[in-house]
Amino acid sequence: MSSSFGQIFRATTFGESHGGGVGVVIDGCPPRLPIAVEEIQRDLDRRRPGQSRLVTQRQEADEVEILSGVFEGVTLGSPIALLVRNTDARPQAYDHMKDVFRPSHADYTTQAKYGVRNWQGGGRSSARETIGRVAAAAIARALLRRVAGVEVLAWVSSVHEIDAVVDLDSVTLDDVEATPTRCPDPEAAARIEAAIDAARRAGDSLGGVVTCVARNVPVGLGDPVFDKLDATLGGAMLSLPAAKGVEIGSGFAGTRLTGLVHNDPFEPGPDGRPITTTNNSGGIQGGISNGADVVLRVAFKPTGTISSEQKTVDRDNNPVTLAAKGRHDPCVLPRAVPLVEAMTLLVLADHYLRQRAVDVLPPLDG
């Protein structure tokens, strides 16, 4: 009941951190979309651990196979199944946590909800589940680029108390990928790198914020009530591991402004459509995209799994202490960047097709 996302462009992920593999089935992708396995692999490689000393040193090749739905380089309109095998499983690394619940992790709630748990890693709550999302989103990216020239770009805008200064209009993918931090402000990036190193050495962990911008989003995406574009984006972001907050446009800071300052004035735009001179709305008004860049921010908590000793309980409700072994990210932020992009892409692709479904009648006279 919980593993599908989207109403028309629908991704269903499967797989745990340990077992045969993880993947995704995408149903509802339009036919005739050119797609190469390399495009999917490229996005997966950005998500992959082991890319730098900043992130977990697990070596996962994460090589994707297209099982179905693509023929002679184009989509068939049938479900696209993508599979990534699990290869670097070391279940014994989790032996010491088999009967112990890591604080602020999914161990206890999973056991309580299901009455059974694959303790060899994070199970379904493992970050490996996000492989399916990123793979599906690579196809959404190709679709959105082709139909509307949409570009989605995310980056690390803060880690712990270090805030980056980034120009939303000009920042590029190259800027983001310039350092392993995925923070496009070089000065902040250097400090973030040092902070993450320090946290690892201290057996501690750090959180932070990812900012995402979607450019060239067509006007009219999103529905005015429960499926507002901001609502689906927000729900999508909070479905990411470790996400604890999301803002659209001015967000929480906007509550400190007054309407006169916060409102985005319209002025005549070049193509006969109005444009706004500011963007506190974050590109969304009344739940519907207005043609300005869609802007959102996602808060990720400090990683729960740390190597310092912590108080917790075991399955028999006895107090114990736990110091996590294994290979864990002291800070998920750099790897969260492609995940935020992925969920943004899945939301936009679905809303794009939904709008195409109902925009079928000629304009009214007038």
Considering only residues 168 to 197 of the shown chain, the ones binding its own copies according to CB under 8 A are none
Residues binding its own copies: what is the number (CB under 8 A)?
Answer: 163
46, two tokens: 């950005």
Of 7-15, 42-50, 168-176, 334-342: span binding its own copies (CB under 8 A) = 7-15
3 or 52: CB nearest its own copies = 3
User: Which residues contact residue 219 at a Cβ distance below 8 angstroms, ignoring those fewer than 6 apart?
Assistant: 273, 288, 289, 290, 291
Out of 21, 50, 180, 326, the residue judged to bind its own copies by CB under 8 A: 21
Other CB atoms within 10 Å distance of the CB of residue 39:
14
Task: Report how far apart the first and last C-alpha atoms of the chain are (Å, whole number).
Answer: 46
Site residues for its own copies, window 49-78 (CB under 8 A)?
Answer: 65-69, 71, 74-78
**C-alpha span between 354 and 138 (Å, rounded):** 19
Site residues for its own copies, window 125-154 (CB under 8 A)?
Answer: 125, 129, 146-147
**What's the min distance (Å) between Cβ of 320 and its own copies?**
9
Is-contact 69 80, C-beta < 8 A? yes
**What's the min distance (Å) between Cβ of 332 and its own copies?**
11
DSSP state of 97: G
Q: Is 356 in the site for its own copies (CB under 8 A)?
A: yes
Residue 48 — φ and ψ, nearest 5°? -60, 140
1, two tokens: 């009941």
Site residues for its own copies, window 226-265 (CB under 8 A)?
Answer: 226-228, 230-239, 241, 243-252, 254-260, 262-265
Instruction: Return the residue matching tokens 């299901």.
Output: 114
235 or 326: CB nearest its own copies = 235
**What's the min distance (Å) between Cβ of 48 and its own copies?**
19
Give the per-residue contact string, 308-337, with its own copies (x = CB under 8 A; - = no). x-xxxx---xxx----------x-------
Cα atoms found within 13 Å of the Cα of residue 147, Cβ hemisphere only: 21
Q: How long is the chain?
A: 366
Q: Is 124 in the site for its own copies (CB under 8 A)?
A: yes
